[in-house]
């Protein structure tokens, strides 16, 4: 299926969010996730199913004021 | 000592972490200022670059408390979702809630701010709302559950200093006992000192330090100004007057005319 990862069209084989993070190269990274604008807590990633066209945001710490 | 949601800090300067020439300069600025609280943010992470991971490790090594922000959010939904993500990533209930209503001045949207604050406080967040000096907005934020208010000094990044000192003084008077932090608009240490002389509990500075020619020196200057301003406030300054009042005793002066 095709999803939008941080605004970029991305091909994805994984079915669940935790598998998707592995596949997309985020293993071991400190990140938070949102699917279609809704926060998905770390503990809910294994049961969160992704569908074609979903918007996935993967965010991490950055400098801020 | 200042206290925010039960956390005591000796140093009343909060530092932003953005716009420094390098991570090393940022780290030096934090060290030289002695700041114990720094603001951080969240952005999209590239799986390849993993910039956020390196940044987060650097901040953790500084041993400071982090105050994540919701910078760039324009709607309640965005701000609440960002706060939820920040709590998970930074492992803190603290959130500097920014909800921008107007682009040119990055003017806080106090109506949306109150709504978002209500949602977040009900969800056990400890909210530091970036607001204006509007007293009623402040009251509504406290009703929503906020225990700190962060009025602006001037628009973010402007370096103008305190645009409305009378308004900030009124706010201090109206909210005795509530921790108040001047956030944004500080350009030079005298601005920070002025905020502290008004009785503010702390000052948050980013651009004025990060974009200075020598950020670490400016950070130290800000820290000293904050300390000086606080001492002055605690020392109960004299009232200003238009006419002179001789400081040297007049009594006993030799008659030499």
Q: Is B251 a residue whose pLDDT tops 90?
A: no
For residue B252, pLDDT over 90 is answered with no
The mean pLDDT of A38-50, rounded to a whole number, is 96
Q: What does the pLDDT read at residue B254?
A: 87
pLDDT at B169 over 90: yes
Interface membership of A57 toward B (CB under 8 Å)? yes
Q: Which candidate from B48, B90, B204 shows the least CB-CB separation from A61?
A: B90
Band of residue B128 on the pLDDT scale cut at 50, 70, 90: very high
Q: Is B47 on the interface with A (CB under 8 A)?
A: yes
With an 8 Å Cβ cutoff, are A29 and B42 in contact?
Answer: no
- Rounded mean pLDDT of A36-54? 96
Question: pLDDT at residue B253 above 90?
Answer: no
pLDDT tens for residues A1-29?
Answer: 999 999 999 999 999 999 999 999 999 99
Query: How much is the CA Rg of chain B, to the nearest whole Å?
Result: 20
Mean pLDDT in residue range A30-58: 96
Q: Which residues of A touch B44 (CB under 8 A)?
A: 6-7, 57-60
pTM of the full structure: 0.93
- With CA atoms as reference, the chain B residue closest to A57 would be B44
- Inter-chain contact A60–B53, Cβ cutoff 8 Å? yes
Q: How close A43 comes to chain B (CA, Å)? A: 10
**Does the structure show a pLDDT above 90 at A31?**
yes
Given a cut of 90, is residue B14 above it in pLDDT?
yes
Q: CB-based contact (8 Å) between B33 and chain A? A: no
Query: B67 with A16: CB under 8 angstroms?
Result: no
SS3 A57: strand
User: Cβ contact (<8 Å) for B43 and A59?
Assistant: yes
**Is residue B255 pLDDT above 90, yes or no?**
no
- Indicate if B96 belongs to the active site: yes
Closest CA to A19 of A39, A40, A47, A38: A47
pLDDT at B121 over 90: yes
Contact state of B44 with A30 under an 8 Å Cβ cutoff: no
Question: Does B248 reach chain A within 8 Å, measured CB to CB?
Answer: no
Flag whether residue B68 sits within 8 Å of chain A, measured between CB atoms.
yes
Strands (E) across chain B are located at 2-4, 7-9, 13-16, 37-44, 65-68, 94-97, 100-102, 107-108, 126-131, 150-151, 181-183, 202-205
CB atoms A32 and B85 under 8 Å: yes
Per-residue pLDDT, B228 = 98
- The residue-averaged pLDDT of A46-52 equals 95
How confident is residue B126, by pLDDT bands cut at 50, 70 and 90?
A: very high
User: In this prediction, what percent of chain B has a pLDDT beyond 90?
Assistant: 93
Residue B175 pLDDT exceeds 90: yes
| Residue pLDDT, tens place only, B49-83 | 888 999 999 999 999 999 999 999 999 999 999 99
Nearest alpha-carbon partner for B67 in A60, A63, A34 = A63
The residues, ordered by sequence, that sit 6+ positions from B72 with a Cβ below 8 Å of its Cβ are: B98, B100
H helices within B17-75, ranges in order? Answer: 23-33, 51-62
Please identify which of the residues B77, B96, B140, B211 carries the catalytic annotation: B96
- Chain B residues whose beta carbon lies within 8 Å of the beta carbon of residue A63: 16-20, 26, 40-41, 55
- Distance of residue A31 Cα from the nearest chain B Cα, in angstroms: 6
Query: Is B249's pLDDT higher than 90?
Result: no
Output the pLDDT for position B257.
Answer: 83
**Confidence tier at B89 by pLDDT (50, 70, 90):** very high
Beta strand extents in B76-222 (DSSP E only): 94-97, 100-102, 107-108, 126-131, 150-151, 181-183, 202-205
């Amino acid at each position: 299926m095709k999803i939008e990862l941080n605004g970029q069209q991305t091909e994805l084989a994984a079915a669940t969010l935790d598998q998707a993070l592995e596949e997309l190269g985020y293993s071991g990274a400190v990140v938070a996730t949102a699917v279609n604008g809704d926060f998905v807590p770390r503990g809910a990633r294994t049961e969160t199913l992704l569908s074609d066209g979903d918007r996935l945001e993967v965010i991490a710490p950055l400098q801020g004021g | 000592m200042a206290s925010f949601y039960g956390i005591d800090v000796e140093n009343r300067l909060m530092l932003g972490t953005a716009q420094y020439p390098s991570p090393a300069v940022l780290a030096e600025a934090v060290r030289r200022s002695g700041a114990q609280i720094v603001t951080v943010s969240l952005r999209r992470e590239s799986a390849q670059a993993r910039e956020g991971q390196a940044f987060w490790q650097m901040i953790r090594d500084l041993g400071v408390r982090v105050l994540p922000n919701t910078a760039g959010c324009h709607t309640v939904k965005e701000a609440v979702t960002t706060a939820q993500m920040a709590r998970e990533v930074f492992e803190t209930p603290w959130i500097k809630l920014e909800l921008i209503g107007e682009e040119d001045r990055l003017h806080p949207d106090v109506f949306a701010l109150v709504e978002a604050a209500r949602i977040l406080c009900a969800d056990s967040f400890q909210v530091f709302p970036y607001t204006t000096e509007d007293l009623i907005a402040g009251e509504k934020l406290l009703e929503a559950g906020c225990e700190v208010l962060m009025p602006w000094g001037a628009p973010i990044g402007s370096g103008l200093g305190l645009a409305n000192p009378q308004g900030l003084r009124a706010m201090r008077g109206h909210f005795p006992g509530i921790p108040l932090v001047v956030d944004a608009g500080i350009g030079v240490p005298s601005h920070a000192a002025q905020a502290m002389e008004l009785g503010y509990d702390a000052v948050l500075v980013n651009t004025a330090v990060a974009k200075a020619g020598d950020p670490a020196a400016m950070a130290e200057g800000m820290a000293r100004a904050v300390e000086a301003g606080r001492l002055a406030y605690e020392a109960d300054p004299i009232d200003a007057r238009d006419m002179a009042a001789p400081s040297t005793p007049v009594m006993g002066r030799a008659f030499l005319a």
